[in-house]
């Protein structure tokens, strides 16, 4: 049993004549903006303000920058301009603040435990025995 595999999944469907839905929305939005400007402002001012809007709408609908839709470029530009930036070459010097001196502690008051020779030998012996028992367990498991 053979199934057909879709071949052109990256291509958008032409919905309104030769235009895709996105292209139609971009063009309709720019035309609506110009119509709104024509109602609000005098005709000459509306044409001057509307020309860049129409050009931007046409670029969104048809222009591809580096093989990608223009909207990807616009999104990347907004992300670049409005996101936080980390400049590694512009390191700011941190202000060095003097630490507050703690109260002087008398050395005689500090308790330091000391190991006697017998305790040290006991610890060394227990570590040696632990290593030997670990080795014998490993040999038995093999």
Q: Residues 23-64: pLDDT tens digits?
A: 999 999 999 999 999 999 999 999 999 999 999 999 999 999
Which string of b and e fits 119-137 if b means at least 16 CB within 10 Å? Answer: eeeeeeeeeeeeeeeeeee
Residue 24 forms part of a structural domain: yes
At 57 the pLDDT is 96
Residue 57 forms part of a structural domain: yes
By C-alpha distance, which of 63, 66, 70, 61 is closest to 30?
61
Residue 101 forms part of a structural domain: no
Which string of b and e fits 4-13 if b means at least 16 CB within 10 Å? Answer: eeeeeeeeee
Asked whether the predicted pLDDT for residue 76 surpasses 90, the reply is yes
d(CA 57, CA 19): 13
d(CA 99, CA 128): 45
Terminal alpha carbon distance of the chain: 53
At 102 the pLDDT is 65
- 8 versus 84: which is more confidently predicted? 84
Average pLDDT of the segment spanning 78-103: 82
Residue-range definition of the domain harbouring residue 58: 14-82
- Domains: count for the chain: 1
Residue 35 forms part of a structural domain: yes
Which pLDDT tens digit goes with each residue over 93-113?
Answer: 778 887 776 666 666 666 656
% pLDDT > 70, the chain: 78
Residue 28 forms part of a structural domain: yes
Residue 93 forms part of a structural domain: no
Q: Which of 8-17, 46-55, 84-93, 130-139 has the highest mean pLDDT?
A: 46-55
Give me the chain's average pLDDT, please.
83
Opening angle at CA 76, ends 74 and 78, nearest 5: 70
Residue 4 forms part of a structural domain: no
């Amino acid at each position: 049993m053979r199934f057909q595999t879709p071949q052109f999944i990256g291509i958008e469907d032409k919905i309104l004549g030769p235009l895709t839905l996105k292209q139609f929305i971009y063009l309709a939005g720019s035309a609506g903006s110009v119509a709104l400007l024509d109602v609000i402002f005098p005709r000459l001012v509306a044409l001057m303000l509307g020309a860049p809007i129409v050009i931007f709408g046409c670029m969104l609908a048809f222009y591809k920058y580096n093989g990608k839709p223009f909207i990807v470029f616009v999104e990347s530009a907004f992300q670049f301009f409005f996101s936080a930036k980390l400049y590694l070459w512009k390191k700011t010097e941190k202000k060095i603040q003097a630490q507050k001196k703690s109260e002087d502690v008398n050395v005689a008051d500090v308790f330091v435990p000391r190991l006697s020779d017998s305790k040290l030998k006991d610890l060394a012996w227990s570590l040696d025995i632990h290593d030997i028992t670990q080795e014998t367990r490993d040999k038995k498991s093999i």
